[in-house]
Amino acid sequence: MRLARFFARVLTALAPALLAAGGVAAQTITDFPVTTSGSGPDGNLWFTEFFVGKIGRITTDGTVTEFPAAGNPQFVVVGSDGNLWFTEQSIDKIGHMTTAGSFGDYPVISANAGLVGIAPGPDDNLWFCEAGAGNVGRITTSGSVTEFPVSGFPLQIAAGPDGNLWYGEFEGGAIGRITTSGQTHDFPTGVPNSQPQGITAGPGGVLWFTDTGANQIGRITTSGAVTEYPIPTPDANLLGIAPGPDGNLWFAEAAANKIGRITPKGVVTEFPVPTGNSAPVALVAGPDGNVWFTEVEGNKIGRITLSSLAADLATVDAHAPTGTNSNVNGVLEPGETVEVSPAWHNTLAGAQGVTGTAATLTGPAGPTYTINDAAASYGSVAGGATADCHDATGDCYRITISGARPVAHWDAILTETLNGGTTTWARTIHVGNSFADVPTTYPFYGYIENLFHSGATGGCGGGLYCPTGTVTRAQMAVFLLKGKHGTDYLPPACAGVFADVPCPSQFADWIEEFATEGITAGCGGGDYCPSQPVTRAQMAVFLLKAEHGAAYTPPGCGGMFGDVPCPSPFADWVEQLAAEGVTAGCGGNYCPNDPNIRGQMAVFLVKIFSFQLYGA
């Protein structure tokens, strides 16, 4: 009964022959009926037809061709051999087909396997889920099958950026990981009613999944840190999820009859499917730069047309044109009139003219939000190029935000429409002067505002940042883990690893996870020395291991700094930190034994993790 209920909801899947990069904003949804209508050009988008035992192909102009298969095909992908591979649920076989329609299949080992998701692996094999048998399977392109027992009713599977396979455990409330040699590990989501289902690799080296039971979209790092984001529509029945050509994740809400989009920062937008009760299930980025999806009840293939413009970074208060009173420090302060210069990338092959309008500027109640100049021009942007309005034409937006600070972390939202409304985008505008003890003239002011905006720090209390305070080894664990995993990250509970770090205590969870990830082994003798300040030399090791992984070894030193002998214990690390542009030293030297202060810490973290104050 578990499988019957599941398959009544998840019936088809869609796979691309190609992937493409492109736009940012959903414009229109078009439905194409699934009816045989001739043989169009080969190799566009492929899907399964569960009830009738066929594999379908649809071209980007909507022409559908069907090929007979067997065994109620479930999910379909492209293998390393260039053929299509799919699970045949009702006959316990894995099918394969050429793009010309030549068909064959191979039996799996377990009976009543309940074949569901399938994905190409980094080892050039195909990996699949056997929900009924409780296995993850592997099949070579010559048909040799191996099965590995796993937990929690696995449904869908995806290759991760770490060279492993990852799958949702629908009845285990966890995400599973399996190596190509068959070693498994479970990562519980820690979310009530969790039922992970669809899963995909996404931008930033993390995986994203649909949590059907919790009605949330989840993100998991390759170290197992989970963050989940709620969906506005209740009981949406979240199913498939896929990366879009716009750098966002797109997912299907079968019961809500919607397609959802979530940005890497967790902002969710929903788009209704025009055909009523159509039940979207699976999605993929098409070769035309749009998102395509299956509609199991509507018996259609849907297409979401995306914009031909992709948002890039913006600069704020970087220039002082006429009509501003800018201090040109790259941060908007209350009462300041500044230029806002967004950048946009043209995803088309040919040039297109781009103009913009600042439609709204909003923020927390109390202050005044004024658009002083609502028009911007980006000129003619060449195909594949990126342009900002300041460098292109000098015609950019001007805004003023004034009034008493309404909240500690003050952000406004500037909504921009392009080319008469074909694309709409909302940009977050951070308002500075966040800390009473960090004036705009302080050397690290911009970095501190950036770090605060990222969520990696909330200051030191009482509206202060304490920029000259030293950073302790305990605080360092929090800073780096938040920078590495995201500001919503919370580490697992402590177990009592270090003798001088009581468990539980304020920093114990963070310190032990810091050690678990191999960034530190403590300070010797089974201790961590949580209250000791972090020196600039130690900081180099911490930062580079957090950035590159515990196994990272920097290149050999060359003798860059006069006060860091080469060779010496920290020389390789210090020089690599400088080579990556994270530090320039301290006036010709590096000052390796100086304690790291909180102001410097902001610079290091912003640079090593590439935080953006005014991102896309």
pLDDT in tens, 200-237: 999 888 999 999 999 999 999 998 889 899 999 999 99
Q: What is the pLDDT of residues 453-478, one digit of tens each?
A: 998 899 999 999 999 999 999 999 99
Percent of the chain with pLDDT over 70: 93
Residue 2 has a pLDDT of 43
| 577 vs 451: CA distance, rounded Å | 19
Going 346 to 606 to 202 to 277, the CA torsion angle's sign is negative
**Of 61-65, 347-351, 598-602, where does mean pLDDT reach its minimum?**
347-351
**What is the pLDDT at residue 166?**
98
DSSP string covering 254-302, please?
TTTTEEEEE-TT--EEEEE-SSTT--EEEEEE-TTSSEEEEETTTTEEE
Are 331 and 449 in contact by the 8 Å Cβ rule? The answer is yes
Which domains does the chain carry? 2-306 (2.130.10.10), 310-430 (2.60.40.10), 445-608 (no CATH)
pLDDT at 283: 92
Q: How confident is the model at residue 33 (pLDDT cuts 50, 70, 90)?
A: low
> Residue 600: which H helix or E strand, with range?
helix 598-608
- Other CB atoms within a 10 A radius of the CB of residue 354 amount to 21
Average pLDDT over residues 488-506: 93
Which of the four pLDDT bands, split at 50, 70 and 90, describes residue 355?
very high
Instruction: Quote the CA–CA distance of 416 and 57 in Å, as a whole number.
Output: 38
Q: Which pLDDT band holds residue 34 (cuts at 50, 70, 90)?
A: low
Residue 279 in tokens: 């039940």
Q: Enter the tokens of residue 10.
A: 């998840």
CA distance 143 to 95: 10
Please say if the pLDDT value at position 341 is more than 70.
Answer: yes
The per-residue pLDDT for range 358-395, each reduced to its tens digit, is: 999 999 999 999 999 999 999 999 988 999 999 999 99
User: Residue 296's closest CA among 611, 573, 34?
Assistant: 34
Percent of the chain exceeding pLDDT 90 equals: 77
At residue 544, the 3 state secondary structure works out as: helix
Q: Mean pLDDT throughout 58-71?
A: 89
Structure confidence at residue 133 as a pLDDT band (50, 70, 90): very high
pLDDT averaged over every residue in the chain: 90
pLDDT tens per residue across span 249-264: 999 999 999 999 998 8
Least confident stretch, 183-187, 386-390, 606-610: 606-610
The answer to whether 76 and 119 are in contact (CB under 8 A) is no
The reported pLDDT for the residue numbered 13 is 40
229 bridge partner residues: 217
Residues 35 and 31: their CA atoms lie apart, in Å, by 12
Check if the beta carbon of residue 182 is closer than 8 Å to that of residue 150. Answer: no
Answer for the pair 92, 113: CB distance below 8 angstroms, yes or no.
Answer: yes
Burial of 82 from C-beta contacts in 10 A (0-12 / 13-18 / 19+) = exposed
Residue reference for tokens 């992908």: 77
**Do residues 201 and 159 make contact, with C-beta atoms less than 8 angstroms apart?**
yes
Please name every residue paired with 535 in a beta bridge, in sequence order, or none if there are none: 595
Residue 6 is predicted with a pLDDT of 39
Count the helix, strand and coil residues of the chain and give each as a percent rounded to the nearest 5: 15, 35, 50
State mean pLDDT over 422-435.
91
pLDDT in tens, 66-107: 999 998 999 999 999 999 999 999 999 999 999 889 999 999
Query: Quick one: which of 285, 287, 286, 281 has its CA closest to 299?
Result: 281
Indicate the pLDDT class of residue 32, thresholds 50, 70 and 90.
low
Closest listed residue to residue 366, CA positions, set 320, 334, 326: 334
pLDDT digits (tens, 9 = 90+) for 528-537: 999 999 999 9
Query: Given a cut of 60, is residue 4 above it in pLDDT?
Result: no
- Residues with Cβ < 8 Å from 265, sequence gap 6 or more? none
Query: Mean pLDDT over residues 580-587, rounded?
Result: 92
Q: 354: which strand partners? A: 379
pLDDT value of residue 266: 86
pLDDT at 354: 96
Which positions ≥6 away from 551 have C-beta within 8 Å? 518
Residue 17: is its pLDDT beyond 60? no
Is residue 24's pLDDT more than 70? no
Phi/psi at 130 (5° precision): -115, 90
pLDDT band at 513 (very low <50, low <70, confident <90, very high): very high
pLDDT at 286 over 90: no
Count helices and strands (H / E) in the chain: 8, 37
Q: Give residue 43's pLDDT.
A: 52
425 pLDDT above the threshold of 90: no
Instruction: Kindly tell me if the per-residue pLDDT of 7 is higher than 80.
Output: no
Separation of alpha carbons 95 and 262, rounded Å: 33
Instruction: Please tell me the number of Cα atoms within 13 Å of 602 on its side-chain side.
Output: 27
pLDDT at residue 9 above 90?
Answer: no
Does the structure show a pLDDT above 50 at 18?
no
Q: How far apart are CA 404 and CA 371, in angstroms?
A: 18
Count CB-CB contacts under 10 A for residue 513: 23
Q: How far apart are CA 120 and CA 464, in angstroms?
A: 51
In angstroms, the CA 60 to CA 29 distance is: 13
Structure tokens at 3: 């499988």
Q: How far apart are CA 158 and CA 531, in angstroms?
A: 42
* CA 409 to mean position of chain CA atoms: 23
